[in-house]
Amino acid sequence: MSKDILVIGGGIAGMQSSLDLADMGIKVHLVEKLPSIGGKMAQLDKTFPTNDCAI
């Protein structure tokens, strides 16, 4: 059994590291201050330079 990891913040950076770790088979606890994850990126309409949808 490997050790668990704590990730503080559920924005794009926190979500990415959580998923990377979880995919490696490590148990992750993701703590987010707000009611939902997503952070600032969820507020964006599109992202540059490809104009992809942010959500």
Partner 1 sequence: MLDVGRHPNLELLAYSEVEKVEGEAGNFKVTVRRKTRYVEEDRCTGCGACAEKCPTVVPDAFNEGLGDRSAIYSYFAQGIPSTHTIDPDHCRQLNGKKCGICAKTCQAEAINFEQEDRIIELDVGAIIIAAGYDIFDPSLIPEYRYREIANVVTAIEFERLLSASGPTEGHMDRPSDRAAQAEIAALEKKAKKSQKVLDKLEKKFDEPSADFYGKYQTGEYEGDEDRKKWADKYASHLKIVEPLEELKKKAKRFTVAKRLAFIQCVGSRDFRFYPFCSGYCCMHSIKEAVIAQEHEPETHSTIFGMDIRAIGKGFEEYKIRGGNNSNITYVRGRIAEITEGPNNNPVVTYEDTRERKVETREFDMVVLATACAPTKGIGTLAKTVGVELDKYDFIKTDSLSPVDTTTPGIFVCGCAESPMDVPESVAQASSAAERAAEIAFQSELEKEKAVA
Query: Residue 47 pairs with which residues in a beta bridge?
Result: 52
- Provide the minimum distance between the beta carbon of 9 and partner 1 in the complex, in angstroms, as a whole number: 4
Three-state DSSP class for residue 50:
coil
**By CB under 8 A, how many residues form the interface with partner 1?**
52
- Specify the 3-state DSSP secondary structure of 16: helix
| Residue 35 C-beta: closest distance to partner 1, Å | 4
Two structure tokens written together for 47: 């992202």
Give the x-and-dash track for 1-40 against partner 1 (CB under 8 A).
xxxxxxxxxxxxxxxxxxxxxxxxxxxxxxxxxxxxxxxx
List residues binding partner 1 (CB under 8 A): 1-51, 55
